[in-house]
Chains A and B, each alone.
Chain A
Amino acid sequence: MVIWIILLVMTAAAVMAVLWPLSRHYAVAGQVDPNTQFYREQIAEIERDRARGALLPSEAEAAKAEAGRRLLRANGLQDAAVAAVGEPALRRRRAASALALSVVPVLAIAIYGAYGSPHLLSTPSVPVSQETAKLDFGTAVAQIEAHLAQNPQDGRGWEVLAPVYMRMGRVEDAVKAYESALRYLGPEANRLSNYGEAMVLAKDGLVSVEAQAAFERAVALDRTAVKARFYLARAAEQDGQIEKAKAEYTELLSASPADAPWVAVVREQLSRLGAPQPGSAESGGPQIGSEDIARMVSGLATRLETQGGSAEEWARLMRSYAVLGQRDKAAATAKQARQALAKDEAGLKTIETMARELKLIDSAP
């Protein structure tokens, strides 16, 4: 409520700033015209300069003559009559007052109504929740970050923070956090698997060489590390070694209890690769969006083929094909990209880097 009164008072004060000069009487007499005043002062200045000896008498005379001529002209130009009295002046004053009374409040309220947040007026600026120590998620993250900034050697802290980053979509930060956790807490199968997974997500699903190395280390430490073995199978699939991928998926499936949560996902992979599935032939789980992905990829491909695009877009298409396991298409895309970007040296470099990353060596020009 108080705020509304304050806004009202502010509006009134602003309008008054306009009305006040309009309401005062204008005193014509006693005003100095700065125009003529200037030349009078100039002439006086010339006199002073001559008295001090700064000007020769002849110079002073010439300067005085010039200033005198200008003074005469300024006198002639003086506003002959000031139209401050009479009926028209009164009408003008009323019109100006009406303008101020309407324009200032209406414009202010219209603009403030459109862009302001009047519903927040009644709530105090600082949220009360902070004082009652009810910290929200973002604040908690910020506090952990601040703590880690002071103590970067706290591996436990990094390990707590990393999955939080993953959930927040800050995948790059998650990779770094897992890296720090590994550095200070040492390698461990689960930690390595999570680290690898973060790297895979950071590359839109591509199992890079570094990620593969992490998974291999994880499996070396613990043969039963499911996540690591799953991604290793993915890596084989992306490298075009379909048979190897199938074998690894199958092995993973046979080693897992039937009700394990990952069984459905592994089965789905197998059915996608067209392999006969061991055990009960359940439906391979919901095909989450793989059709949508395929449609998006083909859309991008059509657009790039017809209209062309940036090197980054070509590289993304190559990677998408590789992730979908269509290595031949990825190689074909690389070829097309090299033709389309023939004149763009930096672009070609991007394509080559991606080709190397995807191990598309067979498609080299």
Chain B
Amino acid sequence: MLVEAGHFALALALGLSLIQFVVPLWGARANDPVLMRVAPATALAVLACVGFAFVALTAAYVTSDFSVLNVVENSHSTKPLIYKISGVWGNHEGSMLLWVLILALFGAVVAVSKNTVPARLQANTLAVQAAITFAFLLFILTASNPFTRVMPAPGEGQDLNPLLQDPGLAIHPPLLYVGYVGFSISFAFACAALIDGRIDAVWARIVRPWTLTAWAFLTLGIAMGSYWAYYELGWGGWWFWDPVENASLMPWLAGTALVHSTVVMEKRDALKVWTILLAILTFSLSLLGTFLVRSGVLTSVHSFAVDPARGSFILGILIVFIGGSFALFAWRAPLLRQGGLFAPVSREGALVLNNLFLATACATVFIGTLYPLALEVLTGEKISVGAPFFNFTFLPLIIPLLLLLPFGQTLAWKRGNFLGTAQRLYAASGLAILVTLAVLAFTAGGPVAAPLGVGLGVFLILGSLNEIASRSWSKGSPWAVVWRKAAGLPRSTWGTALAHAGVGVTVIGIAATAWGVESLGTMKVGDRLKAGSYEIRLERLLPRVEANYREDVAILMVSRNGQELGNLETMKRLYLTRGMPTTEAGIMTVGLGQVYASLGEIQPDGSIGMRLYYKPLVLLIWLGALVMAAGGAISLTDRRLRIGTPVRAKTLSAASVAAE
């Protein structure tokens, strides 16, 4: 009964979103505030309906109601409760419902913020958002309905894909979706601005928290997905340049550019058209990611169902929204007022450079991801573009960007002085070079790229903190004063510094992977295997049976230079219902590095294959992402207005360029 009511609620939401699309747009055109006010009311109603539908589906999962096809296909009565709940979005239909739920949730938040958002902008934004909601609801109801029933109901379900039976599933998709869908709000605001033909600093101020939220969540979602792949797939890698990963990296790169260009727009009223374009581009890439992952064009653990009908439906949505928004852009963008002026060497100029690098990097990933697909469609030839391509194209774009980052952060708005900036970074760059040399000397004979990477990371961290230090510390002032000054700095400054330092932390983690050691071997009980200064001894090998899987467990004793550190377990599991094996890596964290053991095949003679890695500082990769997201969050709490303080030009230079 609840299931059917949920299904009906979803159908109601479809009708409501159509109203939310048509009436407010009409109201904005006719300048009728009553019609415009329909937008927030319907947005809340849509959230209520979609939320109810989601609760109904979750209830069906929790009670193992096998009269619902979706539950039969993805659940099992013996599954632990947490996986019953996370199983709701561990499949195609349910994940699309989660997508729309987050969309509705964000729409509702826009709806209740009526005192900060002008009525026209709000009405147009919610109308554009309703169009997206409508398209996805139609897709869910007609092509991937989670509420399809089976009668008579089977007695048991087919269980969830074992790779997804992991706490990661409870966290990774919601984080990623909040990121993707958050950009839909920026997109809706951009379209609304185009429809209205008006865009200013107020717009940028309203959009910034959305973009920042979406960006922070996307950062966390990608980092979480990366860590999940690292420990679940048992290969010890954390990034594979897999098309599915690239599908989330592209909106992240575009979103990072958007976060920066919005700052320019809010502070200096410049870069308007570019910001609008980036907002459209970012969400388009999010949609493209959804299409690539969901349509079955790419096969991976993410493509739950390969169904051409669904693929073409999503492709249709893609064409309508991306094509429509670009058409709108081409038509309306020339009407927008041009913004403020700035010199090439200035904070704005640095941010433009940042945007150029990020956009190019994004285009590189785009080509690397889509070219093989396009080639296969056109000629049937299969090529694989892997890590070498990206190492040759992506890294040369990102490394200069990172090198320039501390300079950009130190430059003044409107007109900057490059030499002065460089002087202020003397200490940071000197220390970074010192660290590089020290590391080089310490690891002589090892890979050269690693110390350079660590140096770059240190430079990024020091450069970020330099901003804080130079604004609060002056020679001879007592610590209490410095502390008070530092604490009094705007939280957005702290957020910026932290986010950029996070980049540095991740860079150090990535650079340190070059020092990782790996060894392979077959072991019997009592045998030893060594990787670097770490050694494992196979203590025992025993079978174990759990509710929905059985596993062979290898218990290892880890020691470093003869000193025992503790036990480590790595498992080879067989999930009974699907008959699918998985490998559970055994991971021991030592400081910031990890010892990673992964069980291979078990031979008939009782010996086992074993992969052992030692990865120094590997945790920094994900800790850096956490720091980045934390920086975003701190910046988000800063509700102060941003003020660009132009420095008066000493000589009237003619070097000012138009912003657009």
Contact = CB atoms under 8 A, between A and B. Distances in A.
Interface of A: 3, 6-7, 10-11, 13-14, 17-18, 20-22, 24, 26, 32-35, 38, 41-42, 45-46, 49, 52, 54-55, 58-60, 62-63, 66-67, 70, 74, 77, 79, 81-84, 88-89, 92-93, 96, 99-100, 103-109, 111-112, 115-118, 120-121, 124-127, 130, 135-142, 145-146, 149-150, 152, 172-173
Nearest to A62: B646
B33 interface: yes
B12 A11 contact: yes
Given A13-B45, A117-B4, A127-B152, 4 more contacts: A14-B45, A21-B38, A83-B31, A103-B15
A92 B32 contact: yes
Nearest to B43: A17
Contact of A38 (B8, B16, B60, B201): B201
B95 interface: no
B468 interface: no
B488 A92 contact: no
Interface in B17-58: 18-19, 22-23, 26-27, 30-35, 37-38, 40-42, 44-45, 49
A304 B647 CA distance: 77
Contacts of A127: 67, 152-153
B15 A107 contact: yes
Contact of A111 (B14, B33, B49, B198): B14
B37 A26 contact: yes
Interface string B497-513: 00000000000000000
Contacts of A45: 640-641, 643
A93 B18 CA distance: 17
Contact of B37 (A6, A21, A138): A21
With a 10 A CB-CB cut-off, give which of A45, A52, A92, A108 has the most chain B CB atoms.
Answer: A108
Interface residues of B, number: 78
Contacts of B40: 21
Contacts of A107: 11, 14-15, 18
Contacts of A33: 118
B156 interface: yes
B514 to A, nearest CB: 34
B538 interface: no
B155 A139 contact: yes
A92 B32 CA distance: 9
Contact of A18 (B1, B19, B32, B644): B19
B33 A82 contact: yes
A79 B31 contact: yes
Given A70-B269, A116-B147, A125-B63, A42 B643 contact: yes
Given A70-B201, A104-B19, A22 B34 contact: yes
A136 B151 CA distance: 13
A21 B45 CA distance: 12
Contacts of A130: 155
A14 B38 contact: no
Interface in B338-367: 340
B149 A120 contact: yes
Contact of B30 (A3, A24, A83, A135): A83
Given A120-B4, A136-B155, A22 B38 contact: yes
A63 B141 CA distance: 53
A117 B488 CA distance: 61
26 contacts: A10-B9, A11-B12, A17-B16, A18-B16, A21-B38, A42-B641, A46-B643, A67-B643, A77-B198, A79-B31, A82-B32, A84-B34, A104-B15, A107-B15, A111-B14, A115-B147, A117-B148, A120-B67, A120-B151, A121-B1, A125-B2, A125-B60, A137-B155, A145-B577, A149-B576, A173-B579
Lowest 9 CB-CB distances: which A-B pairs, in order?
A139-B155, A17-B45, A142-B156, A104-B15, A107-B15, A108-B11, A59-B645, A111-B11, A21-B37
B202 A99 contact: no
Given A121-B4, A126-B63, A108 B12 contact: yes
B156 A115 contact: no
A149 B15 contact: no
Interface string B75-113: 000100000000000000000000000000000000000
Contacts of B120: 79
Given A42-B643, A111-B11, A125 B67 contact: yes
A284 to B, nearest CB: 40
A14 B15 contact: yes
Contacts of B37: 21, 24, 26
Chain A at the B interface: SS class? helix
Contacts of A83: 30-32
A93 B34 contact: yes
B648 interface: yes
Contacts of A106: 15
A152 B145 CA distance: 38
Contacts of A34: 115-118, 202
A92 B154 CA distance: 52
A89 B36 CA distance: 12
A112 to B, nearest CB: 4
Given A3-B4, A34-B116, A96-B35, A150 B30 contact: no
A35 B12 CA distance: 35
A4 to B, nearest CB: 10
Contacts of B34: 21-22, 24, 26, 84, 89, 92-93
A184 to B, nearest CB: 14
Given A63-B643, A83-B30, A100-B19, A116 B11 contact: yes
B537 interface: no
Contact of B44 (A17, A54, A118): A17
B200 A74 contact: yes
Contacts of A11: 12
A81 B15 CA distance: 32
Given A34-B116, A82-B33, A89-B32, A59 B647 contact: yes
B205 interface: yes
A21 B155 contact: no
Contacts of A137: 155
B33 A93 contact: no
A99 B33 contact: no
A63 B644 contact: yes
Nearest to A138: B155
Contacts of A138: 154-156
A33 B42 CA distance: 23
A118 B4 contact: yes
B7 A112 contact: yes
